[in-house]
């Protein structure tokens, strides 16, 4: 089971040209772009580690792509995503978010079911990768 996270999560992985096109779209809309990474991709883990500072005042996607490549080189076994923020609502609002890298081997998730009082069942997700310590989750 692949991680389904962000705007294009049900499509095949984006190529670098497709990533550049999406970044260009964000920049044309005046949305600052940031790059984040994690090795804990649980769906409720919304706060990933930020790669550098958000990239403001860019006109072309080349600077963003260079930062994505640097992040990929540093963290080859992590999830990496691009976020674009829309400040037109006078607050930080995510306008676009998509994955640009997955680990080579994704162990996936398991669905856990717990039965409680009165036969009430609750469900949860457990990432197989979380069975290992941070930094060692994807063969690191």
Residues 77-117 have pLDDT tens digits of 899 999 999 988 887 788 999 999 988 877 777 788 889 89
Task: Answer yes or no: is 4 within a domain.
Answer: no
Residue 32's domain comprises 16-105
Backbone angles phi, psi at 114, to 5 degrees: -125, 130
Higher pLDDT, 50 or 44: 50
Residue 139 resides in a domain? no
pLDDT reading at 1 higher than 60: no
Residue 33 CA to residue 30 CA, distance in Å, equals: 9
Establish if 89 belongs to a structural domain.
yes
> What spatial distance separates the first Cα and last Cα of the chain, rounded to whole Å?
21
CA pair distance 40, 33, nearest whole angstrom: 22
- How confident is the prediction for the chain on average, in pLDDT? 86
Number of structural domains, the chain? 1
In a domain, 82, yes or no: yes
Inside any domain, residue 1: no
Least confident span in 11-15, 22-26, 110-114, 123-127:
123-127
Q: Is residue 130 part of a domain?
A: no
Identify whether 95 is part of a domain. yes
Contact between residue 77 and residue 89 where contact means Cβ atoms under 8 Å apart: no
Q: How far is CA 67 from the centre of its chain?
A: 15
Q: In what order do the strands lie in the sheet with 93-101?
A: 49-55, 33-38, 79-86, 93-101
Please report, for the domain that includes residue 29, its CATH number: 3.30.190.10
Q: Is residue 32 part of a domain?
A: yes
């Amino acid at each position: 089971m692949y991680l389904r996270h962000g705007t294009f999560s049900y499509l095949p992985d984006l190529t670098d040209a497709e990533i550049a096109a999406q970044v260009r779209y964000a920049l044309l809309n005046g949305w600052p772009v940031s790059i984040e990474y994690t090795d804990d991709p649980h769906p409720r883990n919304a706060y990933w580690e930020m790669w550098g500072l958000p990239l403001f005042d860019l006109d072309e996607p080349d600077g963003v792509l260079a930062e994505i490549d640097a992040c990929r080189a540093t963290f080859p076994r992590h999830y990496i995503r691009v976020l674009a923020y829309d400040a037109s609502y006078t607050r930080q609002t995510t306008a676009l978010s998509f994955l640009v890298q997955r680990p080579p081997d994704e162990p996936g998730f398991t669905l856990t079911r717990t039965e409680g009082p009165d036969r009430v069942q609750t469900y949860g997700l457990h990432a197989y990768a979380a069975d290992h310590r941070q930094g060692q989750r994807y063969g690191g």
